[in-house]
Amino acid sequence: MPVEALTAALGSSPDGLNNAEAAERLLRDGPGTLSERRSRRGMRLLLAQFTSPIILILIAATAVSMGLGDVIDGGIILAIIAASGLLGFWQEHAANRAVDALLERVRVKVTVRRDAEPVSVALSEVVVGDVVILTAGDVVPGDARILASQSLLVDETTLTGESYPVEKTPGTARADAPLAERTNCLFLGTHVVSGRGTAIVAKTGRATEFGAVTAKLAEPDVVTGFERGVTRFGVMLVRVMLVMVTSVFVINIVLSRPFLESFLFSLALAVGITPQLMPAIVSVSLAAGARRMATERVIVKRLDAIEDFGAMTTLCSDKTGTITVGSARLDGALDIAGAPSDEVLRLVRLNAGLQSGFMNPLDAAVLAGADPIDRSLCLDELPYDFQRKRLSVLVADGADARLVTKGAFESIVSACAAAESGGNVVPIEEVLEELTSRFENLSADGYRVLAVADKQLSRRECNLADEVAMTLRGLLVFHDPPKPGAAEAIRDLADQGVTVRLMTGDNRLAAHKIATDVGLDASNLVTGADVERLDDAKLAELTRTVSVFAEVEPAHKQRIVLALRADGQIVGFLGDGINDAPALHAADVGISVDSAADVAKQAAAIVLLDKSLSVVLDGIRLGRQTFANTLKYIRVTTSANFGNVLSMAAAALFLPFLPLLPRQILLLNFLSDIPGIAIAGDAVDAEQLTRPRSWSLRSIRNFMIAFGLISTSFDLATFAVLRLGFNAGEELFRSGWFVISTITELAAMLVLRTNRRFYRSRPARGLLWSSAVVAVITVALPFTSIAAQLGLSAVPAKLLAVLVGLSLLYVAANETAKTWISPLD
């Protein structure tokens, strides 16, 4: 279709849409992105609190009980379920809002024309009919037709698998043309490598080619280590729950207890053994961690990446801005003899100022202090790519044109047949040995060295075939010194169990120098050519002992990251360039910076507001703190719940009545979960942050069994005291056990939150005070006016004193057990 007809069909124009029309289309069609995960919101989030199969069965059974006349009992159970669900909803809702506010700071945006003016909008706000303006590093926001372009190269690897960028120009294509041949179209999921262009968006979201491929493959989200841990934990709990709850139900039926009452009791036990507020508490803990990390200039885009961030064992990083200062300085534009040359400086400024690609720090250094360059001098351009490692600009030179090329030393030399030396043009071979020696000496001193060449052309356009038989004009010498504190940050990361691997496109000599200056072992330096020669298994073996990779291309970075992961490492990759997107996707934790190319920022799970290894270190510590607090809740709650359910199974064998009523089990579970919400802000002992940690199902299971059995043994002692010492009937027995069960679970949280003696590790104020308030409420409930409706009665002072004594013994037993089983290991 001619682009004019398409524009009319889309109800748009070359000036784009007006704001009102764009807002209407966004409302009608919805957000246009596929990649952003959408958390549950509003009514959906509220209903999700009650969609657990166990909860639904419990609600149904309670409804049946109420239908048979037990209205008060059923109403109390439903009220407790509703309160628990509303508490979870409120916590998750608040967590979602907090995270949204943080994400807004690093939202990837695109420039569109609205009301004929260029404005910046979020990718999700781009609608059909928008005219987008794209430059190097931009993400393509939808399927679109090119309106105008200038040397526009687009990476379509994600869609076509083609590793080389494709040039895009206006025009038409056959209706049956495959994607790779639609050079007049742009597609969602791709990004601009170099050049610039404008295009009109024809499709967004799932209507795009990328959306269709995703739907066909039914591609799931990448499963993080945190999600895998939660899933395995859930499966373990279900198995334990089925065995224990079924056993209790069968025992009660065998003992001829009422079927419906036994069924409700068993369901309440099923609820009791599960950490009912776990989804809310995990969300709150991760959101609180994200807020703390934001104060350290680390923005978390995907909450479940926090665990992988804390568990990271290897950090792969580029050089510029992390290990070095990041603001390169042009120390010299030299001729072949090594003398300063104004002509070389003039040529390289033409190249840097007229190219339309992503402005890198080296170009910025070249242009620093220079007068603006007349862009009309640019006739054509051969953008930089990572295979050629050079960039050429065709510049008007009177009636003719001059092709000015700069790039990596070896790349430029290979394209040259001659060199200018002492005002004469000589064969390149005559000066190559001296030139190579100068290049190696400068590189060994830590300088980044590029070369400049040119060639006269008689025509006003150029192609890759023109980059031959050129004349070498000189060298460019850049200096980007090590960043103050980089060496210390690398040592600190090593002390925290994280090794740093340097990946750079610089030559091996410069990489060796900078790595040595910051304390990295460069003795086993590996180049991109070495990576190319190795298969995946050999590369995985090699990466164990290598800290520096030089002369690497994007594909090499991705392979190195995958090799490290295959060797069992939890890999973080820190990058901010267009070429870093593949490695960012491949890493366990992709880390970018706020100033990065959009494609890098979009691929990352974590975005730094300050490109610094010390900021990464702060983020790792906070990630470990967040994960440690999440595990505190899971370990303590499941062990306490396991012990309580095991106790009830035992009690069902010898008691002539149910040890606790269903409503009492649910209330106990609800009250003991309240302090768990405050665990997100709890302090973590310094020794818990010194090494990477991840989910260990075996450790959680052993902890649950060991401390659950301690809980059960004290429950059985409580049974003996109640029945034999106080001759307690149904109400008094249930009241006494309700009180001590809640108090001991609160005590367990305070004792088992640390590997230290509990009095040597101060809990957060919120955790301490919420535990105290819940304890007071628990002791007071049997004496209140609603005690009868809850099936409770006043507990004699003498019995309260005994229960307090048993609770203190329980604390002492847990402290002793910590000697053999560390709560947080």
Question: Apex CA 140: angle with CA 136 and CA 141, to 5°?
Answer: 140
Per the annotation, the verdict on 318 as an active-site residue is yes
**Rounded to an integer, what distance in angstroms lies between the CA atom of residue 224 and that of residue 214?**
19
Name 415's Cβ contacts closer than 8 Å, sequence gap at least 6.
390, 405, 453, 467, 468, 470
Q: Is 504 exposed, middle or buried (0-12, 13-18, 19+ CB in 10 A)?
A: buried
H or E element that contains 153: strand 143-155
Please provide the DSSP assignment of 360-429 as one string. Answer: -HHHHHHHTTPPPP-GGGEEEEE---TTT-EEEEEEEETTEEEEEEEEEHHHHHHTEEEEEETTEEEEHH
Owner of token pair 């709150």: 284
Distance between first and last Cα of the chain: 64
Q: Quote the tokens at residue 480.
A: 């980007």
Q: Is 648 exposed, middle or buried (0-12, 13-18, 19+ CB in 10 A)?
A: buried
Of the candidates 194, 130, 204, which has an alpha carbon nearest to the alpha carbon of residue 164? Answer: 194
How far, rounded to the nearest angstrom, does the alpha carbon of residue 241 sit from its chain's CA centroid? 32
Q: What is the 3-state secondary structure (H, E, C) of 711-760?
A: HHHHHHHHHHHHHHHCCCCHHHHHHHHHHHHHHHHHHHHHHHCCCCCHHH
SS3 content of the chain, % helix, strand, coil (to 5): 55, 15, 30
Q: Quote the tokens at residue 102.
A: 């943080």
SS3 114: strand
**Rounded to an integer, what distance in angstroms lies between the CA atom of residue 230 and that of residue 233?**
5
Question: Apex CA 292: angle with CA 287 and CA 295, to 5°?
Answer: 130
Q: What is the 3-state secondary structure (H, E, C) of 451-516?
A: EEEEEEECCCCCCHHHCCCEEEEEEEEEECCECCCHHHHHHHHHHCCCEEEEECCCCHHHHHHHHH
Given a contact cutoff of 8 angstroms between Cβ atoms, the answer to whether 789 and 72 are in contact is yes
Q: Is 409 exposed, middle or buried (0-12, 13-18, 19+ CB in 10 A)?
A: buried
Point out the catalytic residue in the list 73, 304, 308, 318.
Answer: 318
Given a contact cutoff of 8 angstroms between Cβ atoms, the answer to whether 558 and 548 are in contact is no
- DSSP assignment, residue 296? T
Give me the phi and psi of 449, to 5 degrees please: -120, 125
How many DSSP H helices and E strands does the chain contain?
A: 29, 23
**Rounded to an integer, what distance in angstroms lies between the CA atom of residue 86 and that of residue 92?**
10
**Rounded to an integer, what distance in angstroms lies between the CA atom of residue 297 and that of residue 253?**
59
Q: Quote the tokens at residue 202.
A: 């024809």
**Rounded to an integer, what distance in angstroms lies between the CA atom of residue 225 and that of residue 587?**
12
Q: What is the dihedral of CA 211, 214, 218, 221, to 10 degrees?
A: -100
How far, rounded to the nearest angstrom, does the alpha carbon of residue 59 sit from its chain's CA centroid? 37
Q: Please give the C-alpha separations between residue 5 and each of 12, 13, 370, in angstroms, as whole numbers.
A: 10, 10, 45
Catalytic residue list: 318
